[in-house]
């Protein structure tokens, strides 16, 4: 379907088509790209091609690998073009398995299979995104009105170095700080796919949940249910539950934790039963807050037991898990394709991971990778996804309060705290043992804040009684210069080597061990 955009185009319209082309009066000056899953970039960019994000080995993990090499500005489900007069043309799918691309002055959208609805808006940005969100909400559902829980999460201080005594020390140290959930992250399980307590948790997961509940809070747990490590018992015993490509090879769900992972086929009846049983098991242990991570694995391309579009297959898997965990569980989706998760989860991570560092020169400039952990990457993408807040509780990832254990400046820590208040989703991983009394009080004040904020135009907000300006996080890093281009080639090649990634992993763990031992 072809549509001409002129001054008499209505502000909002909805059409049904497998493919739409909007013919703009002139080429626009900027394009809003919206990445596929939580960690993928969302940002306004100019029209020149973005350098391909490196290393390629992470495309599956960080982008929609199917489009990682597309030179034209593009995005998942939605795209918007900014015209010279400041007005924008937004083209957004109201269904799943859809993609958008800008080719000169043509804004095109297509469904990967079949046809579906498209929402088109011509007007100012402040109206376009809320109108699109409203139309999506009518089809997928809206966010709950109740406030999001306040969470302490183990990842950003302890990473995988969690064990029973360390977590007990932390839980005790949190005292009466007003957290609603203490969430145990990656590191408790035998293996990815084998979701049982490992040797660091000899008392078992039910005992850990009991310990948390004895402090008057809900217990939270991290799992990555839609992928499994190659070495896991699950994969070895049930290879037929995993996605294969046309050539019969297992579809990789990415290289992480020093090994290859594979993607669960959410249409396989036995895999579906296993997923439901897993959710019931973690609820029976006593965990009421579930952070389900690396969910993109369920929506990768591949041959399925029952053929269906990939995001429909993903949504089916999510539905099965939601039903099994029960409506009373709080479900945070992470590493998750955005639109297919709406209506089934309580909260959605809407940016890449933060880190105790503003930005890494290697990742930002040399690898041109906006999806790697870092405060700046997390703020940039989250701020560009705030329009999702009517649809789902938006998780911007944790904020930092202590000066110890990170290299963020006071201003940078305040930006992350301000973002949490704007999102209405408050979490931290700070160790009570690392906080000064003043830092602990600032954390308490943050947790008790009533969350009122006011947009003041651009990327500026008034939060509580102060101004927060996210502008310093928004711009994309400069392109590499000549010398940096040479370094880029070297780092990109190294980054594709499993042995180099294992070495980095090992070095990171070693330095972290020293820090945690002193707790």
- Judged by the rule CB under 6 A, the positions of this chain that interact with ligand 9PG are 39, 58, 61-62, 155, 185-186, 222, 256, 293, 334-335, 353
As measured in angstroms, the least distance from the Cβ of 353 to ligand 9PG is 5
d(CA 430, CA 227): 29
As measured in angstroms, the least distance from the Cβ of 223 to ligand 9PG is 10
As measured in angstroms, the least distance from the Cβ of 287 to ligand 9PG is 15
**Tokens 């990457």 map to which residue?**
377
d(CA 413, CA 439): 11
**Complex with ligand 9PG: residue 62 or 272, whichever CB lies closer:** 62
**Complex with ligand 9PG: residue 22 or 148, whichever CB lies closer:** 148
- The tokens describing 193, both together, are 């796919």
As measured in angstroms, the least distance from the Cβ of 58 to ligand 9PG is 5
**Tokens 């080597």 map to which residue?**
497
d(CA 288, CA 450): 24
- The tokens describing 290, both together, are 């579930």
Alpha helices, DSSP H, located in 57-192: 59-62, 125-140, 155-158, 164-173
d(CA 250, CA 224): 18
| Residue nearest to ligand 9PG as judged by C-beta position | 186
**Complex with ligand 9PG: residue 100 or 162, whichever CB lies closer:** 162
As measured in angstroms, the least distance from the Cβ of 187 to ligand 9PG is 8
Edge-to-edge, what's the strand order for the sheet holding 287-292? 393-395, 347-349, 330-333, 287-292, 218-223, 181-184, 151-153, 427-428
**Complex with ligand 9PG: residue 112 or 505, whichever CB lies closer:** 505
- The tokens describing 53, both together, are 């994000």
Q: How far is CA 289 from CA 209, 340, 391, in A?
A: 11, 20, 19
As measured in angstroms, the least distance from the Cβ of 222 to ligand 9PG is 5
**Complex with ligand 9PG: residue 131 or 334, whichever CB lies closer:** 334
Q: Give exposure, 420-456, as e/b (b: 16+ Cβ within 10 Å).
A: bbbbbbbbbbbbbebbeeebbebbeebbebeeebeee
As measured in angstroms, the least distance from the Cβ of 149 to ligand 9PG is 16
As measured in angstroms, the least distance from the Cβ of 135 to ligand 9PG is 29
- The tokens describing 477, both together, are 């890093």
**Complex with ligand 9PG: residue 48 or 511, whichever CB lies closer:** 511
Among residues 18, 119, 66, 67, the alpha carbon closest in space to that of 339 is found at 119
As measured in angstroms, the least distance from the Cβ of 254 to ligand 9PG is 7
**Cβ atoms 261, 297 nearer than 8 A:** yes
**Cβ atoms 20, 109 nearer than 8 A:** yes
**Complex with ligand 9PG: residue 111 or 155, whichever CB lies closer:** 155
**Complex with ligand 9PG: residue 257 or 453, whichever CB lies closer:** 257
**Complex with ligand 9PG: residue 266 or 369, whichever CB lies closer:** 369
DSSP class of residue 264 equals: B
């Amino acid at each position: 379907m072809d549509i001409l955009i002129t001054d008499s185009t209505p502000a909002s319209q909805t059409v049904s088509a497998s493919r739409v082309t909007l013919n703009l009066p002139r080429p626009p000056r900027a394009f809003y790209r919206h990445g596929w899953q939580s960690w993928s970039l969302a940002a306004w960019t100019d029209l020149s091609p973005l350098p391909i994000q490196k290393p390629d080995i992470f495309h599956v993990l960080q982008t929609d690998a199917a489009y990682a090499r597309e030179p034209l500005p593009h995005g998942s489900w939605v795209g918007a073009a900014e015209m010279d007069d400041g007005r924008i043309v937004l083209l957004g799918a109201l269904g799943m398995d859809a993609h958008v691309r800008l080719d000169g002055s043509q804004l095109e959208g297509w469904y990967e299979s079949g046809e579906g609805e498209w929402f088109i808006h011509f007007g100012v940005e402040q109206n376009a995104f809320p109108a699109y969100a409203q139309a999506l909400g009518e089809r997928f559902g809206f966010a709950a009105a109740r406030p999001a829980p306040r969470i302490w999460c183990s990842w950003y201080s302890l990473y995988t170095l969690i064990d029973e005594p360390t977590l007990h020390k932390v839980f005790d140290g949190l005292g009466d700080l007003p957290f609603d959930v203490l969430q145990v992250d990656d590191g408790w399980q035998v293996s990815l796919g084998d979701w049982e307590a490992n040797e660091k948790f000899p008392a078992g997961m039910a005992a850990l949940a009991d310990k948390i509940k004895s402090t008057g809070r809900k217990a939270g747990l991290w799992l990555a249910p839609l992928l499994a490590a190659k070495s896991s018992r699950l994969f070895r015993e049930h290879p037929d539950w995993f996605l294969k490509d046309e050539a019969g090879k297992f579809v990789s769900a990415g290289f992480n934790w020093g090994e290859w992972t594979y993607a669960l086929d959410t249409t396989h009846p036995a895999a579906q039963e296993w997923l439901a049983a897993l959710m019931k098991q973690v609820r029976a242990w006593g965990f009421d807050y579930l952070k389900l991570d690396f969910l993109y694995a369920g929506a990768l391309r591949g041959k399925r037991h029952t053929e269906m579009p990939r995001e429909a297959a993903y949504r089916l898997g999510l539905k099965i898990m939601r039903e099994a965990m029960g409506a009373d569980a709080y479900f945070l989706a992470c590493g998750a394709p955005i639109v297919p998760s709406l209506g089934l989860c309580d909260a959605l991570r809407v940016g890449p991971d933060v880190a105790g560092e503003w930005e890494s020169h290697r990742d930002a400039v040399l690898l041109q990778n906006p999806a790697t952990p870092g405060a700046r990457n997390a703020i940039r993408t989250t701020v560009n996804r705030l329009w999702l807040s009517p649809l789902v509780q938006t998780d911007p990832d944790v904020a930092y309060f202590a000066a110890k254990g990170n290299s963020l400046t006071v201003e940078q820590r305040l930006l992350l705290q301000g973002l949490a208040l704007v999102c209405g989703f408050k979490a931290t991983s700070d160790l009570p043992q690392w906080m000064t009394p003043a830092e602990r009080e600032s954390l308490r004040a943050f947790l008790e804040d009533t969350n009122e904020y006011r947009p003041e135009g651009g990327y500026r907000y008034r939060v509580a009684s102060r101004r927060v300006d996210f502008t310093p996080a928004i711009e994309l890093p400069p392109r590499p210069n000549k010398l940096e281009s040479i370094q880029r080639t070297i780092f990109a090649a190294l980054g594709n080597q499993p042995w180099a990634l294992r070495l980095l992993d090992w070095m990171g763990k070693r330095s972290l061990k020293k820090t945690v031992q002193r707790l």
